Amino acid sequence: MPAKLDRPKLCRSRLAFSLSGGDPGILESILRLGVAQENERLVQGALAYARGRGGEAHELIGDISALTLDPLIAGHVALVQAELIANLNPGRAIALLDEARLMAPGTLVEEAALRRQVSLVAAAGHPERLEALSGQYLRRFPRSFYAGNFKQQFAAELVGRKAAALDTAKLDAALLPLAASEQRDLYLLIATEAIARGRMELVRHAAGKALRRADRETPQHMRARTYEAAAMIVTGDFEAGFAVLEGVDRAKLEGEDAELLDAALSVAEHIRQLPAAAAAAGPPPPGATASAKIEAARAVVARVDQMLSGARQ
């Protein structure tokens, strides 16, 4: 004799399936067969969400406390609730994402909630929480299918903040628990983003950290040397930076990194020619407040940032 059908459990499992990205048509069949019972409002809200009717979905499930629901669906519901209000009330959305993580630890729900929280706290200007949540994600889900995209997102949002808001000591502390190879790759991503935004001091910091975590003569080692030296030529260590650039093995660089090396060498050669050009121009006119050499150097430094940034865009 077949076991009695557990309709509420079946309904909850199908809700979880649909809220995880499954075919929403399964929810329509639940409503059509009349087996939703006490979960009917949730099913209707989930269906509205899946069909892109956000306003209707919020009306149906926005005020439901996910903490009172069955653990099978609680985290999914909190995640959807957060997404429905993320643009209008990011603070409340962040709190709902905390609930989603609490109710579904170690699952795709927790991972998705962490990724979304990082984006929201970055936009809200909470650097300490950004670093804490990012570090938590990288420690808990380093081998995730989504980890590569997350690292790109992390680097972009970290570098996109105002320079005064970035504490490199706290950044280093957040990345310290990761494996050396993971730290290396993240620092390289940060250096790449910083080059594109013309933040040369941050380029130098991140590239230097990556360099110390890369095996010598590897492509990662050459990338780190290129980034660090490109920053050095405009941040006070021109001769040392130029010498490093000349020693980079271009054959171990690819695409934009090779273009960056070429651009940096071209800029360095141009800067080296400035003293001779200034001397040939003769003394500055009477009453000048700065020498032609200094003014030319300032103009070149401004162009350097643009050229190096352009090589990475």
Kindly list the domain boundaries of the chain, sorted by start residue.
176-281+290-313
Average pLDDT over residues 295-310: 51
The answer to whether 144 and 136 have CB atoms below 8 angstroms apart is: no
Task: Give the model's confidence band at 35: pLDDT under 50 very low, under 70 low, under 90 confident, else very high.
Answer: low
Task: Give the model's confidence band at 241: pLDDT under 50 very low, under 70 low, under 90 confident, else very high.
Answer: confident
- pLDDT score for 165: 57
pLDDT digits (tens, 9 = 90+) for 161-177: 754 557 788 888 888 88
- pLDDT score for 36: 61
* Class in CATH terms, 176-281+290-313: mainly alpha
Task: Give the model's confidence band at 284: pLDDT under 50 very low, under 70 low, under 90 confident, else very high.
Answer: very low
pLDDT digits (tens, 9 = 90+) for 50-62: 899 999 999 999 9
Task: Give the model's confidence band at 206: pLDDT under 50 very low, under 70 low, under 90 confident, else very high.
Answer: very high
Residue 99 in this model has a pLDDT that exceeds 80: yes
Residue 299 in this model has a pLDDT that exceeds 60: no
